[in-house]
Amino acid sequence: MNLEMKTLCEPDGIDINTQPFILIIFGGGGDLSQKKLLPALYNLFKLNKLNNDSHIISYGRQARTQDEYKDLVKVSINKNNSEEKIDIEDNFLDKFIYLRGDSEKLEGINEINRYICNFKNIKEYQIIFYLATPPNLAKNILNLIQKLDLCGEPFKKKIIMEKPFGTDMESATQLNKCLNEIFKEDEIYRIDHYLGKETVQNILFFRFGNSIFEPLWNRSFIDHIQITVAEDIGIESRGNFYEKAGVLKDIIQNHMMQLIALVAMEPPTNFNANSIRDEKVKIFKTISNMTDEYMSENFVLGQYSAGKTNNEDVISYRNEKNVEENSNTGTFFAGKFNIDNWRWAGVPFYIRAGKRLNQKLSEIVITFKTPPLKLFGNACRDMLANELIFTIQPEERISLSMNMKYPGIENYPHPVEMNFNYSKLKLISISAYERLIIDCIKGDLTLFSRQDGIEEMWRILDPIVNHFNKNKSDLLRYPAGSWGPEKSKLLLEKDNRKWRI
């Protein structure tokens, strides 16, 4: 059963009527820039969403001529484009200038100053700094930014920072302190690309825009909630990063906490950025610190061993490049979280995330309570609970499962699904990075994390990281291509529940 979208009025589309900007990308030749930023910027250019007078400065360590960098831009866009090879327009390439410099030294900063000073009416531009660099370089880059005087002219500035933001509560607090010496809070855009995905954004609209669901969104009607962020790939070439972060800092501290908050938050007073972020922070504060005994019983940390993924043999995590031979870094996590407030008391939130799992899947499953009586006899003893499923990847869709009578003379239940799939809409869709870049240009902070939210998420995660650091024997191995350690299934089975997949 599919849902059709009825449109009472045509949307106006994405309208960006902003001042021109100068985007300064630290790490402009790096992996993130090539895979995400450059393709996103080109797609926005093709949609006429970039101001014609805007310019992009790429700042990197490697020596490149301007033509060599433009070639890199063209290769990156085509490599990450699902369509046939495209000819990149010169009007787009002419927006770029490549400047060589070391993010740990002052080299190159004076050149940025000189370049920007060539612009007339610098006051009319907003200067956006994008840190597409490893997290450990953040403080050094902030020191460089602080030394930019931009011709002594006052200017509107913003900064975009990638996750992970800090490595623990203490470092995140220190990083926020450094940021606040240069930027105001409403100039700081802490990015989490998951929040730019349409299905994630639609959680709020689905809840608060439909009166048939919001009254049911509580402990009286919902049995439990599952959130899965599974990848079938390994760590690829990110061994150095993953050894420091692991699944806990790479996925749980940011993506997972944000998804929990969106599902669990109270209705905001309005849909402005601070009202929504206020409610998310309240949810973080209701997740209290847990004892070691609770974590041993309800949390699972795993690491993939050799196995088979997509019918191909793959190596173990410990055999990946730049990984310690006896590494205790987790690549899988599952756990049960409780939210201590009136709405969610007694409703467990089961989460799991990992690398080299059975399939690529990100979804949120709202499982409602089953009817209290079996009115239709033993034939219906296997009647399934209603489920509302927000699928984020591999495709973005929302589905609702219901029980119907199977056609015929017998009373047998038959589960059916109502599906809403974004791919079926003939609308212009944009990627998560495109959406978040647009929001920064517009000055919309709704989908970005605030300082207090970041610190609360680390407050939740730090005890979990410390627990597994103290109990290294709790790290469980699982074969690549599976759904993680067997204990992750038992988390639900001991509560008479099971993972949807």
- Of the candidates 212, 162, 200, 201, which has an alpha carbon nearest to the alpha carbon of residue 33? 162
Q: In what order do the strands lie in the sheet with 361-368?
A: 413-421, 397-405, 387-393, 361-368, 222-230, 349-354, 332-337, 299-305, 476-479
420-447 CB burial, b ≥16 within 10 A, e <16 = bebeeeeeeebbbbbbbbbbbbeeebbb
Token pair listed for 174: 């220190």
| Candidate list 55, 193, 255, 467, residue with the active-site label | 255
Nearest to 206 by CA among 398, 77, 337, 69: 398
**Per the omega criterion (within 30 degrees of 0), is the bond before 164 cis?**
yes
Taking phi over 0 as left and psi of -120 to 50 as alpha, with beta for the rest, 484 belongs to: left
Q: What residue has token string 């250019």?
A: 45
For residue 124, the tally of other CB atoms under 10 A from its CB is 12
Task: Look at residue 270 and give its three-state secondary structure.
Answer: coil
Q: Are strands 126-131 and 156-161 parallel, antiparallel or unpaired?
A: parallel
In whole angstroms, what is the distance from residue 331 CA to residue 333 CA?
7
Annotated active-site residue 414? The verdict is no
Using DSSP, state whether 266 is helix, strand or coil: coil
d(CA 421, CA 394): 12
* CA–centroid distance for 293 within its chain: 30
Q: Which residues pair with 479 in a beta bridge?
A: 305
Q: CA 318, CA 243: separation in Å to the nearest integer?
A: 10
Kindly report whether the peptide bond that precedes residue 348 is cis, defined as omega within 30 degrees of 0. Answer: no
Closest CA to 55 of 133, 127, 2: 127
Beta bridge partners of 127: 22, 157
Task: Locate all alpha helices (DSSP H) within 209-317, ordered by sequence.
Answer: 239-247, 257-264, 273-286, 292-298
Q: Taking the alpha carbons of 423, 429, 433, 435 in that order, is the dihedral positive or negative? A: negative
Please provide the distance, in angstroms rounded to a whole number, between the alpha carbons at the two ends of the chain: 21
**Identity at 400, one-letter amino acid code:** L
* Active centre residues (catalytic): 255
